[in-house]
Amino acid sequence: MLLMISEDSQEEALMFAKAAKSVLETHHDLRCSTIFFSEASGALKSFLDIRRKYWCITMVVLSDDVAFLAALAERSLVMTSSRLIALTRLPAQTFLENEKLRTTFSTMNAVIGIFYEKSKRFTMYYLEPYSNTEDEVTRAAHWSLKEGLVQASRLPLFYDKFIRFKRRPTLKIATEAFHSRQTQKDGRNTDHTADYFAQGINFNYRYEHIPDGTFGSKQDDGSCLSPSRVEIVDFTSPISIQYSVILGGRGLPQVDPWAFLFPLGPFVCAAILAALVVVPLIMVLLFTCASFSFPNPARFTWPANLFEMIRVLLLQDNKIPGGAWWWRRLAMGGWMLTALVLIKSYAGNLMSVLTVRYVQQPYQSLSDVVRDPSVSMIWQTNTSNVQFIRSAETGIYRELAEAEKNGRTKFQPIMNFFWSLDKLVRRRDHVLIDVEIMIMLMIGHDFTFTGG
């Protein structure tokens, strides 16, 4: 907690502190840091340092100076998780007539506490979102030493003012060029998402086109936002997380003349050769032990047994003599079953190998692209990715910056991506790198019109 003492009398300062304490006890978020501000020197500078360090702040301002409140309002927090309590003697109409005060207190989660010296009480007001000078402040509660904090309505003091606007304002929606091109067709607006929110929250809207056609990013000359805007920019909670994806042309289908050997792995080949050697040898040994009672021993030598097993493996007919012993019939029957399994497995795998042709995909990571001098990269112009690459000092992004200096990087507005996909990426000497949602949109669009 940072406390800056007001220059009021001790009695009034005590009342201001008790009023602020009462509001905080009733509507304080324990996750937020509480900061008291007055007109003390250096207050604005301290505020800028603090707001960079804390995500959630409950700020209590004690001041009767319009200029001080306006200057602080210009640097105020815009995040809905932060709260602003202004305790002052200024009339409530001042907060409507002053544009900076009206903008801050109507768009922030803010409460105005007006102190009336005669009654020794505070009346708490808030401004509806996007109020104008013709509107009135809304009374939310009052406080006094005797009664404490008494609310004037069922709504909490810090309620979500943006669930639905009471009056219908006209808001500006900043858009880049591609969005405008996709949503404005034949003079009609097809941005159904914006229409949905406009109907639910109760507002009108119009598009505000960014001059550079992208996202208002930092330019080569260092210009970006104005200095006053840089001081007040804050970030909300992330809506989604997107990853960058590399889109490159597919290689041509390749037919391998040795594809018929793919199903026969080393282990399978070794097992077949071992069986062709061992099984006939075992049959010869068994025949030798019983040869004294068999009439034609020349037909059951090792070469003869091997030849019969190869005939079975090649799906040739085979005939076992009627007088063969049971163990010979059992050995040949087992080999026939083994050969059947091998043959069916080989046929199925061979069909799969010959049906699915091999297509080369050489780029599996950003390093593969950077280290291939034959390919150029296409990035969207003026994005945060471009700024990050140009400021990197080490690693793969530093190599990307070097590739830009060597002329291997092109920057294009998003509207040109579809042309680049068809004319440059398809010939396989360019790759396009952008966020996943955009790449998937381009792939779907290309498949719709080409079918491949």
Q: Read off the pLDDT of residues 160-186 as tens digits, 9 standing for 90 and up.
A: 888 888 888 888 887 766 666 666 655
Which of 292, 326, 331, 324 minimizes the C-alpha distance to 309? Answer: 331
In a domain, 339, yes or no: yes
In a domain, 360, yes or no: no
Strands of the sheet containing 430-435, edge to edge, are: 244-248, 430-435, 376-380, 409-412
In a domain, 285, yes or no: yes
Tell me the one-letter amino acid at 276: L
In a domain, 158, yes or no: no
Check residue 377 and give its pLDDT: 94
CB atoms under 10 Å from CB of 191, counted, come to 18
In a domain, 251, yes or no: no
Residue with tokens 């409950």: 58
Distance CA 25, CA 22 (A): 5
Are residue 220 and residue 280 in the same domain, yes or no?
Answer: no
CB atoms under 10 Å from CB of 55, counted, come to 15
Residue with tokens 């021993």: 297
Are residue 80 and residue 26 in the same domain, yes or no?
Answer: yes
**Average pLDDT score over residue span 247-255:** 74
Are residue 300 and residue 404 in the same domain, yes or no?
Answer: no
Residues in contact with 192: Cβ distance below 8 Å, sequence separation at least 6, in sequence order: none
Are residue 351 and residue 373 in the same domain, yes or no?
Answer: no
Which of 27, 24, 82 minimizes the C-alpha distance to 51? Answer: 82
Are residue 432 and residue 371 in the same domain, yes or no?
Answer: yes
Are residue 116 and residue 76 in the same domain, yes or no?
Answer: yes
Angle between helix 302-313 and helix 326-355 axes, rounded to 10 deg: 40
Task: Compute the mean pLDDT over every residue in the chain, rounded to the nearest whole number.
Answer: 76
Going by pLDDT thresholds of 50, 70 and 90, the confidence category of residue 308 is confident
Are residue 371 and residue 351 in the same domain, yes or no?
Answer: no
Q: Please give the residue range of the domain that contains residue 271.
A: 259-355
With helix as H, strand as E and coil as C, how does the chain read? CECCCCCCCHHHHHHHHHHHHHHHHHHCCCCCEEEEECCCCCHHHHHHHHHCCCCCEEEEEECCCHHHHHHHHHCCCCCCCCEEEEEECCCCCHHHHCHHHHHHHHHCCEEEEEEECCCCEEEEEECCCCCCCCCCCEEEEEEECCCEEEECCCCCCCCCCCCCCCCCCEEEEEECHHHHHHHEECCEECCHHHHHHHHHHCCEEEEEECCCCCCCCCCCCCCCCCHHHHHHCCCCCCCCCCCEEEEECCCCEECCCCHHHCCCCHHHHHHHHHHHHHHHHHHHHHHHHCHHHCCCHHHHCHHHHHHHHHHHHCCCCCCCCCCCCHHHHHHHHHHHHHHHHHHHHHHHHHHHHHHCCEECCCCCCHHHHHCCCCCEEEEECCCHHHHHHHHCCCHHHHHHHHHHHCCCEEEECHHHHHHHHHHCHHHCCEEEEEEHHHHHHHHHHHHHHHCC
Are residue 232 and residue 310 in the same domain, yes or no?
Answer: no
In a domain, 375, yes or no: yes
More reliable by pLDDT, 255 or 20: 20
**Average pLDDT score over residue span 109-134:** 87
Going by pLDDT thresholds of 50, 70 and 90, the confidence category of residue 1 is very low
Are residue 320 and residue 383 in the same domain, yes or no?
Answer: no
CB atoms under 10 Å from CB of 244, counted, come to 13
In a domain, 247, yes or no: no
In a domain, 165, yes or no: no
Going by pLDDT thresholds of 50, 70 and 90, the confidence category of residue 408 is very high
> Residue 246 forms beta bridges with which residues?
433
CB atoms under 10 Å from CB of 57, counted, come to 22
Going by pLDDT thresholds of 50, 70 and 90, the confidence category of residue 6 is very low
Distance CA 420, CA 406 (A): 20
Are residue 350 and residue 431 in the same domain, yes or no?
Answer: no
The predicted-structure confidence for 427-446, as pLDDT tens digits, reads as follows: 889 999 998 888 998 888 88
How many domains, the chain? 4
Are residue 189 and residue 95 in the same domain, yes or no?
Answer: no
Check residue 378 and give its pLDDT: 94
Are residue 320 and residue 375 in the same domain, yes or no?
Answer: no
CATH code (residue 73): 3.40.50.2300
Tell whether the model's pLDDT for residue 2 goes beyond 50. no
Of the three residues 151, 184, 199, the one that is the final residue of a domain is: 151
